[in-house]
Amino acid sequence: MSLETSDNHNDLSGSVGLVKPQKVVIEQPLKLACGVTLPSHTLAYETYGSLNKDNTNAILICHALSGNHHAAGFYQDDTKPGWWDQYIGPGKPIDSNRFYIVCVNNIGSCFGSTGPTSENPQTGQPFGADFPPLRARDWVESQKLLMEHLNIDCWAAVVGGSLGGMQAMRWSLEHPEKLQHAVVIASAMKLTAQNIAFNEIARKAIKSDADFCDGNYLQHNKIPHRGLALARMIGHVTYLSDELMGQKFGRDLKAGDLLQGKTEPVEFQIESYLNYQGDKFSDFFDANSYILITKMLDYFDLAREYDHDPVAAFKHATCKFLVISFSSDWRFSPARSREITDALIAAGKNVSYIAIDSDHGHDAFLLPNQRYQQALGDYLSKLAEKIEDAQ
Amino acid sequence: MKHNIDFIEQWIEPGSRVLDVGCGDGSVLGSLRDQRNVLGYGLEIDPESISSCLEKGVNVIEQDLNKGLNNFTDQSFDTVLMTHTLQALRYPHLVLDEILRIGGKGIVTFPNFGNWRTRAYLSLRGRMPVTKQLTYQWYDTPNIHFFTYADFEALCKERNITILHRQFLANGFPDRLLKSVWPNLFTETAVYHLSR
């Protein structure tokens, strides 16, 4: 793919290079699904690439449970790029040479946008557990306010994996005229009982930590590290596949050995890995945000207000869809993606469905995979071509 | 050998719903979309073919036909199209039933094994035919059923399938001149428009 339009030499590596987060205070009141109105709210976001003269090449990236606005490129002095750097950049499937890419940290999260750690103007204290409950549609409405701030009238595409895919689908029903394509990756129209069960175990783990203080831990200068780490460990297991864990860790030992006659404790590699992941997560994620967003996932039901009929729901959409699933994803299995696809076909909507072979479980949507990159790239490159022809 | 089947456009209502079962690179669906404004979907499992569909902006659904078409409801399409795939499926007769369950009408194309070249190859050389139409060796061919158009018509009769139209195609010489005189001997590809 051509890099000629790029004038930044860093781009040759396929990276958007150094990026800086931006912040905007949306002064317009946002009425949430629960009835509460946020009089104003702050959004942290990043953009990559440039908007064309007709403002028609903007792509919105929707993050999932623990994601944020730093989807691609590097911060100064950082060695790790954004969470979707494999897919966003010059010459990459979501090509920053051709698209203007917007990724926003959603409200209720904890990376700079208004959320449980923000100050509640009514009390002068952090919202904590009092932050109003959210639905995916609230994220969509907030994203729409950012869209207006950026002078974008219609997204070329709204793209997201997992909870991100749910936002893309919600966009297609709530504001059909505001997007041309929805790319729904490793997602579902609603969570299964098993999904909700895992989320509840995670929430219970957080609430069981004595430092949780009923959600008001910040006021007590405490952080429920142990509970949040445990919640993440549970979640993490569900994002990987049995095969992958077997390949990556097997029964390898990190410490001790299993010979008889030894008393020192044994630590399996998988134990060490999960503990590390849990601890790392509890250092940067907010426990109330975790509770809030897992509940948002549980409550999501695309067709609830359409008589529980997904076909009737999707009749409201006018955009085209790309649906992608991963074979070993058991959290949002390929069957869930097929349900989305079949409902779209029955509703007479344009849709393509790609079933990627991968042993990376649910996490596959974040990881490099040749076929996945190819399919997403082919689809979006056709879209870019169409936009460029119209210029 | 690839035959031009653009004439099937006249069998397809403008603006109708078309399912192309085994859609390959999506060129048939792409031209039906452009010429007849159909809402079309193709089923395919080959990654390269799927990529070609995406590049054309043709709707493609990754689905293995041998695992059935249960996910499609009765009469949910106006036309179900299957080009050069019937001979490669485990149970062609059941797939034909499925085509006419899902679609009001079906369009099916297949290589005619009654063509004189295949007959001559088998009878004179005593080996399974490898021709321009059937390019594989017996051990690696995806074409696991060989049949002539006469066999196909007998099957249609047996299963109460109505033949609305049929077209016999041949590119080679003398086939294209003689196919109307002795169709089973000179047809390379048979194209059928079916209903029940």
Would you list the domain boundaries of chain A?
9-190+302-390, 196-293
The pair of three-digit structure tokens given for residue B178, joined into one six-digit string = 């003689």
Instruction: Give the Cβ contact number of residue B194 at 10 Å.
Output: 21
Tell me how long chain B is.
196
pLDDT of A3: 37
What is the pLDDT confidence band of residue A317, given thresholds at 50, 70 and 90?
very high
Question: In chain A, which residues have their Cβ closer than 8 Å to the Cβ of B61?
Answer: 341, 345, 351-353
Q: Which among A304, A303, A293 is positioned nearest to A235, based on CA atoms?
A: A293
d(CA A342, CA A351): 9
DSSP state of B122: I
d(CA B134, CA B146): 10
Give the rounded distance of the alpha carbon of B152 from its chain centre. Answer: 12
Q: Identify whether the C-beta of residue A218 lies closer than 8 Å to the C-beta of residue A126.
A: yes
Query: Above 80 in pLDDT, residue A157?
Result: yes
| Residue percentage of chain B with pLDDT more than 90 | 57
Phi and psi of B114, rounded to 5°? -80, -5
Can you tell me the mean pLDDT for B135-139? 88
What is the pLDDT confidence band of residue A234, given thresholds at 50, 70 and 90?
very high
pLDDT of B174: 81
The pair of three-digit structure tokens given for residue A369, joined into one six-digit string = 């995979």
pLDDT of B144: 84
For A172-181, B60-69, B72-81, which range has the lowest pLDDT when averaged over its residues?
B60-69
DSSP state of B163: E
Q: Identify whether the C-beta of residue A137 lies closer than 8 Å to the C-beta of residue A304.
A: no
For A5-9, A67-71, A146-150, A272-276, which range has the lowest pLDDT when averaged over its residues?
A5-9
Residue B67 lies in a domain: yes
CB pair distance less than 8 Å for A375 and B50: yes
What is the pLDDT confidence band of residue B145, given thresholds at 50, 70 and 90?
confident
* pLDDT tens sequence across A340-350: 999 999 999 99
Query: Above 50 in pLDDT, residue A21?
Result: yes
Domain of residue B107, residue span: 14-114+146-195
Question: In chain A, which residues have their Cβ closer than 8 Å to the Cβ of B47?
Answer: 371, 374
**A347 contacts chain B (CB < 8 A):** no
d(CA B190, CA B183): 10
Beta-carbon pairs below 8 A across chains A and B: 45
d(CA A287, CA B140): 58
A52 vs B116: which has the higher pLDDT = A52
Mean pLDDT of chain A: 95
Query: Above 80 in pLDDT, residue A8?
Result: no
Question: In chain B, which residues have their Cβ closer than 8 Å to the Cβ of A348?
Answer: 17, 39
Q: Identify whether the C-beta of residue A364 lies closer than 8 Å to the C-beta of residue A329.
A: yes
- Between the CA of residue A58 and those of A53, A81, A94, A391, what are the distances in Å? 11, 21, 11, 14
For A117-126, B26-35, B174-183, which range has the lowest pLDDT when averaged over its residues?
B174-183
pLDDT of A299: 98
**A378 contacts chain B (CB < 8 A):** yes
Of A348, A371, A375, the CB nearest to B39: A348
Query: Above 90 in pLDDT, residue B58?
Result: yes
CATH code given to domain A196-293:
1.10.1740.110
B173 vs A286: which has the higher pLDDT = A286
- Compute the CA torsion angle A148, A150, A153, A154 (nearest 10 deg): -110
Q: How many helices (H) and strands (E) does chain A have?
A: 10, 14
Q: Which CATH class is domain A9-190+302-390?
A: alpha beta
d(CA A149, CA A128): 28
Which residues does residue B39 pair with via DSSP β-bridges, in sequence order? Answer: B17
Give strand ranges (E) for A40-122.
41-48, 58-62, 88-89, 94-95, 100-104
Q: Identify whether the C-beta of residue A365 lies closer than 8 Å to the C-beta of residue A186.
A: yes
Query: Above 60 in pLDDT, residue B56?
Result: yes
Residue B122 lies in a domain: no
Pairing state between β A30-31 and A37-38: antiparallel
Give the rounded distance of the alpha carbon of A381 from its chain centre. Answer: 22
Can you tell me the mean pLDDT for B20-42? 95
pLDDT of A80: 93
Instruction: Give the Cβ contact number of residue B135 at 10 Å.
Output: 10
Q: Identify whether the C-beta of residue A160 lies closer than 8 Å to the C-beta of residue A183.
A: yes
pLDDT of B65: 86
Angle A269-284/A225-239 helices, nearest 10 degrees? 120
Chain B contacts to A (CB-CB under 8 A): 17, 39, 41, 47, 50-51, 53-57, 59-63, 71-73, 76
Which sign does the torsion angle of CA A254, A259, A264, A265 carry?
A: positive
pLDDT of A14: 87
Closest Cα in chain B to A382: B55
Tell me how long chain A is.
391
Helix, strand or coil, per DSSP, at residue A257: coil
> What are the catalytic residues of A?
162, 329, 362
pLDDT of A11: 42
| Residue percentage of chain A with pLDDT more than 90 | 92
**A387 contacts chain B (CB < 8 A):** no
CATH code at B189? Answer: 3.40.50.150
Question: In chain B, which residues have their Cβ closer than 8 Å to the Cβ of A355?
Answer: 62
Q: Which among A266, A276, A239 is positioned nearest to A64, based on CA atoms?
A: A239
* pLDDT tens sequence across A356-386: 999 999 999 999 999 999 999 999 999 999 9
Query: Above 50 in pLDDT, residue A12?
Result: no
CB neighbour class for A271 (10 Å; exposed up to 12, middle 13-18, buried from 19):
middle
What is the pLDDT confidence band of residue A196, given thresholds at 50, 70 and 90?
very high
Query: Above 70 in pLDDT, residue A6?
Result: no
Residue B57 lies in a domain: yes
Domain count, chain B: 1
Can you tell me the mean pLDDT for B163-180? 85
Q: Identify whether the C-beta of residue A176 lies closer than 8 Å to the C-beta of residue A155.
A: no
Of B56, B57, B62, the CB nearest to A353: B62
pLDDT of A356: 98
d(CA A109, CA A24): 15
Can you tell me the mean pLDDT for A72-80? 93
Question: In chain B, which residues have their Cβ closer than 8 Å to the Cβ of A352?
Answer: 53-54, 59-61
Query: Above 90 in pLDDT, residue A13?
Result: no
- Between the CA of residue A280 and those of A60, A225, A239, B80, what are the distances in Å? 28, 10, 17, 53
Q: What is the DSSP string of A326-359?
A: ETT-SSS-HHHHHHHHHHHHHTT--EEEEEE--S
Chain A interface, mutation test: which of B58, B61, B77, most A Cβ atoms within 10 Å?
B61
Instruction: Give the Cβ contact number of residue A174 at 10 Å.
Output: 15
pLDDT of B2: 61
pLDDT of A361: 97
Q: Which among B50, B62, B1, B2 is positioned nearest to B26, based on CA atoms?
A: B50
pLDDT of A7: 40
DSSP state of A254: E
CA geometry: angle A68, A74, A75, nearest 5 deg: 80
pLDDT of A342: 97
Pairing state between β A22-26 and A41-48: antiparallel
Q: Identify whether the C-beta of residue B188 lies closer than 8 Å to the C-beta of residue B169.
A: yes
d(CA A264, CA A287): 34
Residue B109 lies in a domain: yes
Query: Above 70 in pLDDT, residue A134?
Result: yes
Closest Cα in chain B to A373: B51
